[in-house]
Structure 1
Amino acid sequence: MAVLTKAAADADLSLTQLRVLAILRDRRLRMTALADYLGLEKSTMSGLVDRAEKRGLLARAPNPDDGRAVDVLITVAGAEVADRGAAEVARALAPLTGALPPADRRRLTDLLVRMIGTPLA
């Protein structure tokens, strides 16, 4: 958690904002699905997305399958921030994970991806 918190602070983001960027690195989600995934109220999620949108990190778009729904997607600038954060986390954890055999590193990576929902690097 300390590594993630530092990566978020280095990007001038909250931990939740960094998580949102990480989640959206490889997908586009409905606002409600993103809120549910993070365990947040839709109004809280809207405020978080508003702030990230003003910084140019996220964008909203109509859902192509349901005109009433709104999707959230990462921008190029947001992807750059997410990629830097993932690289920072990977560097910080390298001394710990480097001691593991390759099969264990792959298993740990797989488990972490399942936990946070996106590749680390």
Structure 2
Amino acid sequence: MKNKTKSTAVDGAALADALVPVAFATMAVLNKIGAENDLSLTLLRVLGILRDRRPRMAELAEHLGLEKQTMSGLIARAEKRGLVARAQNLADGRATDVFLTEEGVALVERLLQQLRQALAPLTERLDAADRQQLQELLERML
């Protein structure tokens, strides 16, 4: 029984040792893409979230772990750039929704293409079945 416990602990350490450099490589790509497009990492995250949903400001702030005031400033700057817009929530008139503008949608599509190209040297090392399995495992982790 001791060997199984020790093996699990070692596997956990080995897994963390494998995940960290992948996370660093991914973050480096995101930072580079952000810098090339004059976008902070936080704004990249916002655009990624808004890609497939229209959250309330409060939900967006909570998801990102930001204070409401900080979130409002970030969204105001993105609005000035024409990337996002705000509108009254239809179900709750007191709440404000945030969503991508047409310009924001186009930018997100370009960013995703840049991200895919930048990560391709890493992901193309795997065959199609391994990439599919990795995708499924990563989705299950989150």
TM class by smaller structure:
0.7 to 0.9
User: 2:56 aligns to what?
Assistant: 30
Cα distance in 2 for partners of 1:67, 1:5 equals 37
Q: 5+ unaligned residues in a row in structure 2: which ranges? A: 1-26
Q: 5+ unaligned residues in a row in structure 1: which ranges? A: 116-121
User: Any residues of structure 2 matched to 1:65-80 within 5 Å, and which?
Assistant: 65-80=91-106
Identity, % of aligned pairs? 58
**More off after superposition, 103-112 vs 43-52:** 103-112
Residue pair 1:63, 1:69 contacting (<8 A) in 2 also: yes
Return structure 1 stretches of 4+ with deviation > 3 angstroms. Answer: 107-110, 112-115
TM-score by length of 2: 0.75
Residue pair 1:11, 1:81 contacting (<8 A) in 2 also: no
Greater share of residues in helix: 2
**More off after superposition, 23-32 vs 78-87:** 78-87
User: 1:47 aligns to what?
Assistant: 73
**Largest Rg, 1 or 2:** 2
Give CA-to-partner distance per residue, 1:27-73, whole Å, 9 cap, x none.
Answer: 10000100111111111100000000011000000111100000000
Alignment size in residue pairs: 115
Residue pair 1:35, 1:42 contacting (<8 A) in 2 also: yes
**More off after superposition, 92-101 vs 60-69:** 92-101
User: 2:108 aligns to what?
Assistant: 82
Instruction: Report the RMSD for the aligned CA atoms in angstroms.
Output: 1.7
Q: SS at 1:12's partner residue?
A: coil
The 1:113–1:94 alpha-carbon spacing in structure 2 relative to 1, beyond 3 Å, is farther
User: 1:93 aligns to what?
Assistant: 119
Cα distance in 2 for partners of 1:114, 1:27 equals 21
Q: SS at 1:29's partner residue?
A: coil
One-letter amino acid of the structure 2 residue matched with residue 20 of structure 1: V
- Indicate whether 1:64 and 2:90 are aligned: yes
One-letter amino acid of the structure 2 residue matched with residue 15 of structure 1: L
How far off is 1:79 after superposition? 1.1
Q: SS at 2:38's partner residue?
A: coil
The 1:6–1:41 alpha-carbon spacing in structure 2 relative to 1, beyond 3 Å, is same
